[in-house]
Amino acid sequence: ISFIPYLFKRFQNFLPFPGRIERFTFYLLDYNLCFDKQVVYMAVVGSFPFNSFLSGVLSCIGTAVLAVCLRIQVNKDNKEFKDVAPERAFADFILCNLVLHLVIMNFLG
C-alpha cells in the first residue's frame, strides 16, 4: 500500500527527462483523450459513417503508436538504438505520419 506514494515520488524524480521526451507523455495523453471522445461519440450517436469513425480512431491510435516509436528511438538510455541519429528517427517519424494521414484523409469519406 505504501507503493502508491512511492510511485509518485519516483515519478517526481523521473519527470525531469531531457526536455523533449517529457513532452511526449503529454502528447500521448492528449491523443488518448481524443480517442476516448470519439468512442463515446460513436456509442451515443451510432456508427453510421463507419469509415469515418474507423479512420478517426485509427488515426488517434496510429499517431500515438508512432509517437511511442519515436520516443523509443530517441531515448538515449536505449542501447539498441545507439547508432540511429535522432534526426533520422524524427525524419522516419515524419514520413510515417505523412503516409498515415494521407491514408486517413482518403478513408475519411
Partner 1 sequence: MASPESAVNGPTMTAGAASKSLRNAFGGVIAFIILVLIGVLAFSIRLFSVIKYESVIHEFDPYFNYRVTQFLSKNGIYDFWNWFDDRTWYPLGRVIGGTVYPGLTLTAGTIWKVVNSLNIPLSVETVCVFTAPIFSAFASWAAYLLTKEVKGPGAGLTAAALLAMVPSYISRSVAGSYDNEAVAIFALVFTFYLYIKTLNTGSLFYATLNALAYFYMVCSWGGYTFIINLIPMHVLLCIVTGRYSSRLYIAYAPLVVLGTLLASLVPVVGFNAVLTSEHFASFLVFIIIHVVALAYYIKGILSPKMFKVAVTLVVSAGLAVCCAVIAILIAVVASSPTKGWSGRSLTLLDPTYASKYIPIIASVSEHQPPTWPSYFMDINVLAFLVPAGIIACFMPLTDSSSFVILYIVTSVYFSGVMVRLMLVLAPAACILSGIALSEAFNVLTRSIKFQLPGIAGNPSIASEENGSSTVVAPNDIPKTEEAAKEKPAKKNRKKEKENVEKKPTPSKTEKRLLVLPLEASVIAVLLLVLLGAFYVVHCVWAAAEAYSAPSIVLTSHSNDGGLHVFDDFREAYSWLSHNTDVDDKVASWWDYGYQTTAMANRTVLVDNNTWNNTHIATVGTAMSSPEKQAWEIFHSLDVKYVLVVFGGVVGYPSDDINKFLWMVRIGGGVFPHIKEPDYLRDGQYRIDAQATPTMLNCLMYKLSYFRFVETDGKGFDRVRRTEIGKKHFKLTHFEEVFTTHHWMVRIYKLKPQRNRIRGKTKKSKSSRSVSSKRDVRGKRNPWH
Select the span of 18-26, 34-42, 100-108 touching partner 1 (CB under 8 A): 100-108
Residue 53 neighbours by CB distance under 10 Å: 17
Whether 66 and 93 have beta carbons less than 8 Å apart is answered as: yes
Q: Name which of 26, 94, 24, 31 is nearest 57 in CA terms.
A: 31
From the centroid of its chain, how far is CA 7? 23
**Which of 33, 78, 85, 109 contacts partner 1 by CB under 8 A?**
78
Tell me which H or E stretch contains 75: none
Q: What would the x/- binding string for partner 1 be over residues 25 to 64, using CB under 8 A?
A: -------------------------xx--xx--x--xx--
Residue 67 makes contact with partner 1 by CB under 8 A:
no
Q: What grid cell was written down for 73?
A: 528511438
Q: Footprint of partner 1 on this chain (CB under 8 A)?
A: 3, 6-7, 10, 14, 50-51, 54-55, 58, 61-62, 65-66, 68-70, 72-73, 78, 80-81, 84, 88-89, 91-93, 95-96, 99-100, 103-104, 106-107
